[in-house]
Amino acid sequence: MARSAFGRWVILTVAFINGFSIMSIELLGGRVMAPYFGSSVYVWGSIITVFMLSLSLGYLWGGKLSTRTPNSRQFASFFVIAALLCLPIIYFADPVMTRIFMTIEDPRYGSLLTAGLLYFLPICVMGMVSPYSVRLMVSSQEGSGGVAGLLYFVSTLGSALGTLATSFYFVLWFNLDQVMWGCVIALLLCALAVMLADRRDSREDAL
């Protein structure tokens, strides 16, 4: 199905919000883990490693899925699944970290395991958004490079603004759970926006 200008703008917007949320969650990860493992370079090294690995696999899987009849329903499901996978960070972070802290003495490996358990799955799913977005927006092979460049620009811009907004403002105005809930709600709204845009495009195609 051809994407309308409105549908394309929705895809760009949700890619921006996804990038914004990824960096918000990453920065919050340091605050979440600090009471148990500190905020040393080991902890941040663990968080960054897990996020980079998660995103790389998400890009790979998202790209593969996009070759199998991509559609808006599957695209929207990425945001819903990512939102649901963020809930354990809110509800189970403390019990998980307590158990790991009591079991593993070395903070390097304790923080690495904690980061993997809490963040690997949601960030991996969020990483699937960018390559899948490219496939949804590409209408011809000749324009694929421009579309990919635009989407990764928008996503990275969202990540940069998410970094600033979270580190400069959100952590001062809200507690950690409130910011996480904001990310969860934003992801669910992205899913809703994608489905509404798809319904609008389907109605236009039917006329």
Q: What is the pLDDT of residues 13-63, one digit of tens each?
A: 999 999 999 999 999 998 999 888 888 898 999 999 999 999 999 999 988
Q: What is the mean pLDDT of residues 140-148?
A: 69
Task: Determine the average pLDDT of the residues in 134-160.
Answer: 81
Identify the structural domains of the chain with CATH numbers, from first to last: 5-133+142-200 (1.20.1250.20)
Full-model pTM: 0.89
Q: How far apart are CA 105 and CA 102, in angstroms?
A: 7
Q: What's the pLDDT tens digit per position in 98-114? A: 999 888 888 889 999 99
The 3-state secondary structure of 40-91 reads CHHHHHHHHHHHHHHHHHHHHHHHHHCCCCCCHHHHHHHHHHHHHHHHHHHH
Q: Residue 207 and residue 118: Cα distance in Å, rounded?
A: 47
- Looking at residue 56, its pLDDT comes to 95
Q: Over pLDDT 90: what percentage of the chain?
A: 61
* pLDDT band for position 152 (cuts 50, 70, 90): confident
Residue 37's CB is within 10 A of a number of other CB atoms, namely 23
Could you tell me what percentage of the chain is helix, strand and coil, using 3-state DSSP and rounding each to the nearest 5?
90, 0, 10
Residue 140 has pLDDT above 60, yes or no: no
